[in-house]
């Protein structure tokens, strides 16, 4: 692993990753061709519990942030509260992007075009995830789960770590579908994300922004 980047570089990578992630997620949502597994699990849980999607996104994120503390086997306040702030505010940026693409007429395009744009959006937000995972300042709790599993449990294998981090969202989708006899926000984009999300992040790590290192860290205990 290369030496850590300077703080200005890491902050720039974080901000750029946030903007690009919102752009990619907004494009994917506007196509209505499937959400990322975490989002899809929140949508299905919201329908089952008759609560808002936003509340479910925050609740799942908060629980995941707690799980991350257990995975690193120590208390890291910056990591925990940073993830809560991220998950509570990031939706606003995604909603703005999705609304913009909707006004541009993306939902009315032919289905084959929307499928292409959906897959493109996934590639875009996976690249963005690579940026802020490498910056490692704050990120979505689920993306941090992938980072933790990747470096502490799976010897750097991002594809395995990503699939492992999707287990709980997939179980939520399956369970709520069985109980409600309906499935929401699950389409070709969701399947593509499950199968290739980790591989795309790994590709971006190797080929996009070579100077940005993985600044992964866990506080050393005494």
Q: What pLDDT, in 10s, does the model give residues 114-168?
A: 999 999 999 999 999 999 999 999 999 999 999 999 999 999 999 999 999 999 9
Distance (Å, whole) CA 190 – CA 207: 24
Give the structural domain span for 136. 7-207
Within a domain: 89: yes
Within a domain: 62: yes
pLDDT tens profile 163-199: 999 999 999 999 999 999 999 989 999 999 999 999 9
Q: Residue 213 has what pLDDT? A: 94
Distance (Å, whole) CA 133 – CA 150: 11
Within a domain: 218: no
Domain count, the chain: 1
Within a domain: 144: yes
Within a domain: 214: no
Q: Residue 220 has what pLDDT? A: 58
Number of Cβ within a 10 Å radius of residue 2: 11
Q: Which of 143, 141, 167, 146 is nearest to 156 (CA)?
A: 146
Within a domain: 131: yes
**Residue 208 pLDDT exceeds 50:** yes
What stretch of H or E contains 72? helix 53-72
Within a domain: 167: yes
Within a domain: 220: no
């Amino acid at each position: 692993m290369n030496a850590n980047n300077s703080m200005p570089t890491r902050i720039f990578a974080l901000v750029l990753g946030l903007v690009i992630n919102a752009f990619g997620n907004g494009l994917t949502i506007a196509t209505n061709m499937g959400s990322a597994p975490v989002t899809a699990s929140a949508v299905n849980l919201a329908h089952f519990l008759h609560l808002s999607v936003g509340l479910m996104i925050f609740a799942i994120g908060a629980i995941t942030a707690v799980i991350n503390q257990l995975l690193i086997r120590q208390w890291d306040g910056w990591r925990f509260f940073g993830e809560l702030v991220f998950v509570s505010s990031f939706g606003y940026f995604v909603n703005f992007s999705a609304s913009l693409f909707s006004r541009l007429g993306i939902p009315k395009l032919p289905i084959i075009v929307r499928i292409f744009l959906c897959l493109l959006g996934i590639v875009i937000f996976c690249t963005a995830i690579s940026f802020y995972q490498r910056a490692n300042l704050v990120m979505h709790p689920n993306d941090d789960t992938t980072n933790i599993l990747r470096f502490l449990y799976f010897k750097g294998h991002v594809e395995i770590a990503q699939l492992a981090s999707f287990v709980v969202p997939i179980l939520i989708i399956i369970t709520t579908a069985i109980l409600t006899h309906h499935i929401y926000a699950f389409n070709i984009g969701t399947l593509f994300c499950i199968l290739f999300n980790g591989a795309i992040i790994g590709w971006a790590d190797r080929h996009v922004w070579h100077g940005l290192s993985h600044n992964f860290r866990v506080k050393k205990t005494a």
